[in-house]
Amino acid sequence: MRIPSGCSRLETTAIVDKVKGLIFGAILGDSLGLATEGLTRSEVRAIYGDGPIRFGMDEDGIPFHRDEYRSKFEENDFGDDAEQVLLVMESLFENGGHFLPKDFASRLFSYGEHGIKNLHKLPTGMNATNQAVLANPTYKTSPQQAAIEVWKTKNNLRGANGALVRAPLLGALKFWDGTTVIENTTECCRVTHPDPRCMISCVIASTLIARLLRGQDLEIEISHSPTPSIDQQHQPPFNYFIDTLPVNDRLQALVRNVVETNKPMLIAPQTDALFITPETDMNQMQKYYHQLVDYCVPSSLGDLALDDSADCRDTFKCLSAALYCLTREVEKRTQMLLLLVPCWVPDLDTVNYLLSGWLG
């Protein structure tokens, strides 16, 4: 991919380094997240205490818990979130850097049956929406239509976060062209998750990457010290240590701008060619619009009720948790946040995947 001159405030070498960091960071985030995926907050505390969780070559920390699900993975392994980004990369490499939704869909179908080529393991932990869509008899010929059929018939799978993991890399592809970023992102999302909440979440995740690679966070002028995360005079008991950290105002401003710019798609979906969804109930779309606004700038991580097993895989909650962590002011952000979040987020692999990709 040739990066056009003048498309970013960053040097080309810095952009390349950030894209590498996005890929490796996301995969590492998924790998670390397997330690607590699917566990409740109380279960995580009982197993890992205050942490940290042992990871990689480090011999310190609490050993990786091996229950029935986690016993399916090798030491320092990664799951289906990371494997989906490998599929996106494989598709891009084979198609000259262009994203072709049918090619990706074909690779996803093959992955569902055989796993990633040369990894010599079957897919483990694939999300329920992907499984249902791949099982639809029309998927091989009409993947996006198959996804719509599943969306129409399985209400319990709507609004899940499974497509979010593909979005960051698509934000890096032609990051200088915002329209292409959104087009690639929505086409990829529709292959399995045509729900408008899934699509707008993916658009926000990929657009944020694109803007970071263009260096737009550097254009935001902040003249005061970091804002406290919660008003200290009206401070409730903290449920999460991360809630005590100040806000990175520059990143917070960028995140809010990305959300504000893209949220109108939810209330005018059929008028935007890039955002066609099967949802035709405009009252429902208005509800999603307000949910997005409420979730994406929470006053604390506790506001998201992440330990609610009924909707812990909700795409808005997953996106918002990652955005919240991204916008905290922390030295050595990558290492600290990856250790702070594990003890409290049931769907940590996906949250960590997004967060680590953005921080990459």
Asked whether residue 228 is assigned to any structural domain, the reply reads no
pLDDT at 344: 54
Can you give the pTM of this predicted structure? 0.91
Cα atoms in the Cβ-side hemisphere of radius 13 Å centred on 271: 6
Do 307 and 344 form a contact (C-beta atoms < 8 A)? yes
* pLDDT band for position 2 (cuts 50, 70, 90): confident
Assigned token pair, 287: 């509800």
Count of other CB atoms within 10 angstroms of residue 115: 16
The predicted structure's pLDDT at residue 233? 44
Domain-embedded: residue 187? yes
Total domain count, the chain: 1
Q: Check: CB of residue 171 under 8 Å from CB of residue 207.
A: yes
- Cβ density class 123-135: b for 16+ within 10 Å, e for less: bbbbbebbebbbe
Exposure of 48 in the CB half-sphere (CA atoms within 13 A): 27
Q: Is residue 122 part of a domain?
A: yes
19 or 271, greater pLDDT: 19
For residue range 287-337, list pLDDT tens digits in order: 999 999 998 888 888 888 777 655 667 899 989 988 998 898 876 554 555
- Domain annotation covers residue 8: no
Q: Say if 10 falls within a structural domain.
A: no
CATH number of the domain where residue 340 is located: 1.10.4080.10
Check if the beta carbon of residue 286 is closer than 8 Å to that of residue 312. no
Q: What is the pLDDT of residue 189?
A: 98
Q: Does residue 231 lie within any of the structural domains?
A: no
Question: Per-residue pLDDT tens for 38-78?
Answer: 888 788 889 988 777 887 777 788 888 999 999 999 888 99
pLDDT of residue 342: 47
User: Is the peptide bond prior to 52 cis by the omega test (within 30 degrees of 0)?
Assistant: yes
What pLDDT shows up at residue 340?
44
What pLDDT is recorded for position 353? 65
Report the interhelical angle of 80-94 vs 12-33 (nearest 10°). 140
Can you say whether the dihedral through the CA atoms of 85, 91, 94, 98 is positive or negative? negative
Q: How many percent of the chain have pLDDT more than 70?
A: 86
**Each residue of 205-261: pLDDT tens digit?**
999 999 999 999 877 877 665 565 555 444 555 567 778 888 989 999 999 999 999
> 142-201: per-residue pLDDT in tens?
999 999 999 999 988 899 999 999 999 999 999 999 999 999 999 999 999 999 999 999
Q: Consult the annotation and say whether 347 binds a ligand.
A: no
The answer to whether residue 9 is domain-embedded is no
Find out whether 80 is annotated in a ligand binding site.
yes
Range(s) of the domain holding residue 349: 36-219+239-359
- Is residue 20 situated within a structural domain? no
- Backbone φ and ψ for 304, nearest 5 degrees, come out as -85, -10
pLDDT for position 237: 52
